[in-house]
């Protein structure tokens, strides 16, 4: 009997990450779920009924130590799918943010993601096959007034994903960038963005649908996917509207109510 495929999903305790892990389990994969909080065990337990071998790892992937913990678990296993999804948001004006908060966003979204992707690409290139999914964001195409560092980190991830996809194209390894728009997850609450127009918007996308679109795009080996019509429209428009205008639009969505004159 053929061994089941193995999928690794980071940031899998809730939201899009949890739904990606669910896609993996539904597709008959064994799954390693990682997050920096205890809830990762509950998330793993919720996927256990389908016959998959499910492993929960609690680790902060913004630290070298956390990356090492995950790698210890998967180093000797054949990894078919790697979903680098862990990320932190941070709203508010740049100069009102604490440096420690900014640093945590960079450590998780940029340094930690890159460390994992570096190991994953090497591993998969050696395997001669593998599929990588990177959760970037439509935000990477839009300079983010009042969420500046977060949007910049997603610009980093979107750009990195296009670059390494091209490098790996003859190695049997594909890289897909999932670029969701605002999704109905704990993201806005955790990013301290409850009091913003985008945080209060009720039309946000369903994380299960976003995850399924991303998972399927990865399995096809597509370069990127922007789930939902409005996001596709927005992505098209970002190609022709100047960055200064986009930044202004972002202010209208992300500026905390009662602040400034936005």
Partner 1 sequence: MAERLAIVTGASSGIGYELARRAVEDGYALFICADEPDIERAAKKLRRLGGTVETMQADLSSRHGVDAFWRAIEDRDIDLFFANAGRALGDAFADQDWSDIKQLIDLNVLQTTSVVHKVGLRMCARGTGRILVTGSIGGFVPGPFDAVYDATKAYLDSLCYALQEEWRDSAVTITCLMPGPAETPIFTREENDLEEAPITSREKQDPAEIARAGYDAMMAGDPGIVPGLPVKVIAMLSRIAPESLKARIHRSGAEPQ
Q: Indicate whether 86 belongs to the interface with partner 1 (CB under 8 A).
A: no
Q: Please select the residue that binds partner 1; options are 144, 180, 214, 228, rule is CB under 8 A.
A: 144
- For 31-52, b/e burial (b = at least 16 CB within 10 A) is bbbbbbeeebeebbeebeeeeb
Q: Indicate whether 14 belongs to the interface with partner 1 (CB under 8 A).
A: no
Q: HSE (CB half, 13 Å, CA atoms) of 234?
A: 21
Q: Please select the residue that binds partner 1; options are 27, 63, 71, 114, rule is CB under 8 A.
A: 114
Q: Indicate whether 162 belongs to the interface with partner 1 (CB under 8 A).
A: yes
| Nearest-angstrom CA–CA distance, 240 and 118 | 33
Name the minimum Å distance from CB 140 to partner 1: 7
| Nearest-angstrom CA–CA distance, 175 and 163 | 9
Name the minimum Å distance from CB 244 to partner 1: 5
The answer for residues whose C-beta is within 8 angstroms of residue 113's C-beta and 6 or more apart is 61, 84, 86, 87, 134, 157
Q: Which of 81, 82, 150, 188 is catalytic?
A: 150
Q: Indicate whether 147 belongs to the interface with partner 1 (CB under 8 A).
A: yes
Q: Indicate whether 125 belongs to the interface with partner 1 (CB under 8 A).
A: yes
Q: Please select the residue that binds partner 1; options are 137, 217, 238, 253, rule is CB under 8 A.
A: 238
Using CA atoms, how far residue 187 sits from 27, 86, 88, 203, 216, in Å, is: 26, 11, 8, 15, 23
Q: Indicate whether 44 belongs to the interface with partner 1 (CB under 8 A).
A: no
User: Which residue, 80, 86, 84, 85, is CA-closest to 29?
Assistant: 80
Q: Please select the residue that binds partner 1; options are 63, 111, 127, 192, rule is CB under 8 A.
A: 111
* 81 has catalytic annotation: no
Q: Indicate whether 190 belongs to the interface with partner 1 (CB under 8 A).
A: no
Name the minimum Å distance from CB 261 to partner 1: 7
Task: Name the H helices within the chain.
Answer: 15-26, 40-46, 64-74, 99-106, 113-127, 148-167, 187-190, 197-200, 207-220, 229-238, 243-254
Q: Please select the residue that binds partner 1; options are 7, 90, 225, 246, rule is CB under 8 A.
A: 246
Q: Indicate whether 82 belongs to the interface with partner 1 (CB under 8 A).
A: no
Q: Which residues are catalytic?
A: 150
Residues forming the site for partner 1 (CB under 8 A): 93-95, 97, 99, 102-103, 106, 110-111, 114-115, 117-118, 121-122, 125, 140, 143-149, 151-153, 155-160, 162-168, 223-224, 238-240, 243-244, 246-248, 250-251, 260-261
């Amino acid at each position: 009997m053929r061994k089941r495929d193995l999928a690794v999903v980071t940031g899998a305790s809730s939201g899009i990450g949890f739904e990606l892990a669910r896609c993996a389990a539904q597709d008959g994969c064994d799954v390693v779920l990682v997050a920096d909080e205890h809830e990762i065990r509950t998330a793993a337990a919720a996927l256990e009924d389908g016959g998959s071998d499910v492993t929960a790892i609690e680790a902060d992937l913004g630290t070298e130590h956390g990356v090492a913990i995950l790698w210890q678990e998967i180093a000797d296993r054949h990894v078919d799918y790697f979903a680098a999804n862990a990320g932190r948001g941070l709203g508010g004006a740049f100069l009102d943010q604490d440096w420690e908060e900014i640093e945590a966003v960079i450590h998780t979204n940029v340094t930690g993601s890159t460390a994992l992707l570096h190991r994953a690409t090497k591993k998969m290139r050696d395997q001669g096959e593998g599929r990588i999914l990177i959760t970037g964001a439509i935000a990477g195409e839009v300079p983010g007034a009042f969420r500046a560092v977060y949007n910049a980190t997603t610009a980093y991830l979107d750009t990195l994903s296009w670059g390494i996809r091209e490098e790996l194209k003859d190695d049997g390894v594909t890289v897909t960038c999932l670029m969701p728009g605002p999704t109905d997850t704990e993201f806005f609450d955790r990013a301290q963005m409850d009091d913003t127009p985008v945080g209060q918007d009720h039309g946000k996308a369903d994380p299960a649908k976003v995850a399924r679109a991303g998972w399927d795009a990865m399995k096809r080996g597509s370069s990127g996917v922007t789930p939902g019509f409005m996001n596709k429209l927005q992505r098209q428009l970002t190609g022709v509207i100047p960055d200064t205008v986009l930044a202004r639009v972002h202010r209208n969505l992300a500026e905390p109510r009662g602040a400034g004159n936005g």
